[in-house]
């Protein structure tokens, strides 16, 4: 029996990279996992892998920025798997790259739709049920970019800062319930998203440190240790042991037990 046996988890951006690693780890611990993204072919591959390993998975194509699409997807998940106990907002985009006066404003704003609008819409959709049942957890996959100034990366940094604040606000509003909300940095891995970034002309022109980090990354594609570390962090937060830390943002090196002790003190 896994620690998430009987629970339903919904993971956005679950077709590859960190989203896939998270979904597979949650399934290993007994959760029935709903996999959401716009690419159904990728989702089907992940769902097949989970089922072959003995787990339960449902692939649902969904535009995570569209209210109607989210409502339809959530209804399908509830009908086929049950009400959502754990929401992992993982969908993200890295760009656009370049100075604020260079980037396309529409591209910049579309990035915010994924960084900010999508998590808000999903929380708006699933939190009423969690509050009614007085249990549930939400994890937003943020980034170190949420606490640094990175020139030529304004869309990403702004979106991730907003995610952390959205988590803090939700946690404050949920303080009288047993629903917890967290933000995390997933770490760094040579995911397809990273490879797409390395191939982006503007990223190569304006954000050379990131390109160098991607191209010099020592781990083979899909074999990065941070994939497993991130998935384990999500499982730890999903376990309920750290609900007292609701509203916080955590990076992989953070000692959650130490932070729990500090809060208790």
- CA 248, CA 246: separation in Å to the nearest integer? 6
For 176, residues 6+ apart whose C-beta sits below 8 A from its C-beta are none
- CA 20, CA 26: separation in Å to the nearest integer? 10
What phi and psi values does residue 224 have, to the nearest 5 degrees?
-70, 130
Q: Which residue, 227, 222, 240, is CA-closest to 18?
A: 227
**Catalytic residue (one of 156, 206, 242, 249):** 156
Residue with tokens 């049942």: 133
- CA 131, CA 126: separation in Å to the nearest integer? 9
For 113, residues 6+ apart whose C-beta sits below 8 A from its C-beta are 65
242 catalytic residue (yes or no): no
Active site residues: 156
């Amino acid at each position: 029996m896994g620690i998430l046996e009987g629970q339903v988890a919904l993971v956005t951006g679950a077709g590859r990279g960190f989203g896939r690693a998270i979904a597979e780890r949650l399934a290993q611990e007994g959760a029935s996992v709903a996999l959401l993204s716009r690419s159904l072919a990728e989702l089907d591959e992940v769902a097949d892998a989970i089922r072959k390993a003995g787990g339960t998975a449902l692939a649902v194509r969904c535009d995570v920025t569209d209210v109607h699409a989210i409502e339809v997807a959530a209804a399908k998940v509830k009908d086929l798997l049950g009400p959502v106990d754990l929401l992992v907002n993982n969908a993200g985009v890295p760009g656009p790259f370049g100075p604020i006066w260079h980037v396309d404003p529409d591209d910049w704003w579309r990035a915010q739709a994924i960084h900010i609008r999508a998590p808000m819409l999903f929380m708006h959709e699933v939190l009423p049920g969690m509050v009614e049942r007085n249990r549930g957890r939400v994890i937003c996959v943020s980034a170190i970019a949420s606490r640094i100034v990175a020139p030529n990366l304004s869309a990403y940094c702004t979106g991730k800062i907003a995610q952390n604040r959205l988590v803090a606000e939700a946690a404050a509003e949920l303080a009288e319930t047993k629903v917890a909300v967290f933000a995390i940095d997933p770490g760094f891995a040579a995911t397809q998203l990273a490879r797409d970034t390395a191939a982006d002309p503007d990223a190569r022109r304006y954000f050379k440190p990131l390109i160098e980090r991607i191209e010099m990354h020592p781990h083979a594609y899909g074999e990065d240790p941070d994939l497993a570390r991130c998935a384990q962090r999500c499982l730890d937060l999903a376990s309920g042991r750290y609900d007292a830390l609701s509203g916080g943002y955590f990076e992989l090196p953070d000692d959650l037990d130490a932070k729990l002790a500090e809060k208790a003190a």
